[in-house]
Amino acid sequence: MALTPPFTRDTAIAKVRMAEDGWNSRDPERVALVYTQDSRWRNRAEFPVGRQQIVAFLTRKWARELDYRLIKELWAFDGNRIAVRFAYEWHDDSGQWFRSYGNENWEFAPDGLMQRRFASINDLPIKEAERKFHWPLGRRPDDHPGLSDLGL
């Protein structure tokens, strides 16, 4: 299955899952490889450009957002664009847990690398007992519920 534009429903879903798996690896170098050399981002109030800045951004992110677990879900797709919604859970170094909710808009180059990523994210402090993402760090198991199944 070619994961290059134009996307079908199946290839868009596969692309979203691959992105989720990559981010759940928490490996900035690995994640950066799916973006073009000059990829442009908007993530909250940061605007990384290019793989080097993406790696630096992700390194800072995962040093601050501990025990990070993410679920992404396809929202819409058309041609070379995919929209997703996501939620992730993490805690800070004081032990305060958060569930971060957001939406991303992605635009892909013809080779399937992401050239633009726009993310809008909100953080909700939660109690540890309110967590919904319970799997060992790394890839979400195939049988773990997705966002819609969890009522998120």
pLDDT in tens, 77-129: 999 999 999 999 999 999 999 999 999 999 999 999 999 999 999 999 999 99
Structural domain count, the chain: 1
Q: Is there a domain that residue 53 lies in?
A: yes
Q: Which residues contact 93 (CB under 8 A, 6 or more apart)?
A: 64, 66
Question: Is the pLDDT at 143 greater than 80, yes or no?
Answer: yes
Q: Is there a domain that residue 150 lies in?
A: no
Q: Is there a domain that residue 145 lies in?
A: no
pTM of the model as a whole: 0.95
Which pLDDT score, from 0 to 100, does residue 58 have?
A: 98
Range of the domain at 61: 9-130
- Indicate the DSSP class of residue 2: -
Rounded mean pLDDT of 50-70?
A: 98
Q: Is there a domain that residue 1 lies in?
A: no
- CATH number, domain of 24, equals 3.10.450.50
Q: Is there a domain that residue 94 lies in?
A: yes
